[in-house]
Structure 1
């Protein structure tokens, strides 16, 4: 390829030189009056010399044709979205004030309990005066019960005041004979006496309980 270029350049230079010589000859012929003969000679020379035109360089072979690929899809931009939004409605709501819970009550620890007062000394019980067996005797036996030979035991409770005198008599167990029970309380209320008990140094009344056995006396 380089050799062909050099050959073509040499031919071109030769042709240029010949053309220049012809111009000189023509000019000389014009000067000397040999125009016709010179023109004829120039024509012969021009006919004898064939100027080869420089062939254009062959372009390099085109690259292999790539397979046709479909053009990328054209994505159209989304159309603008327009909407008529309703105007916001302002609604006034009367909100009640927040309910404030009352403060929780403060529970204080209970005050220490005062020590209880000292217990009073136990009361001193009263005691019978004399022999309780003499308060009811066989001489007090009801005559009807004696004739019918009825016997039994009568329980009683005798209450007395701070002076030691009986105030009430209650039958707690019957002998089975009302006249014997009645004779028991009648004689106790008449004869029984007590030494009253004391509480905090002061005389107090109390209660005395016992029983009377009614038996037929032997001759």
Structure 2
């Protein structure tokens, strides 16, 4: 195909497109104009239509007043007759128990205390004190040392208060100062009662009397 033919076919296509657009625009305008006229005519018809309101209903007549009825008094109701019981129940009287009598205990008076016993007679005055016979230290040496005190290595000083009878023998022994060893304390009193002797004390007339004597004893562990 020659160049002139190609140019002619291109021009025809453009002309066809322009014609189609013109037809579309005319159709749109025609449709839009018809729709606008139709809407205007419908609106005019609606504006010119008048609606008549219905007439109001006739007023209702009020009902006639009720006839007057005479006021009748209420019937008189008589009270029921009182019927008495020929056999009334017995009347019970509540008895209040009598409280027991209250006994008030009077405090008893303590009997008087018995009279104090008479004081013992005063000991006779000592004219001559009791004296030791011999040397009592010989009885508290190594030969009479308690074995238990030797094993425990106990030693110390004991002071005993002796009661000397009228015959010069020791009748009682009380440890006043302990050696902190029960074996040594007991041995002191045992030996004093069995071996220590005294010349008894005498009163003013020379008669023997009971007296006391303080005996100190020092226990020393025997040397081996």
Is the pair's TM-score, using the shorter chain for normalization, greater than 0.5? no
Report the TM-score, using the length of structure 2 for normalisation.
0.42
Compare CA radii of gyration and give the structure with the larger one: 1
Report the TM-score, using the length of structure 1 for normalisation.
0.43
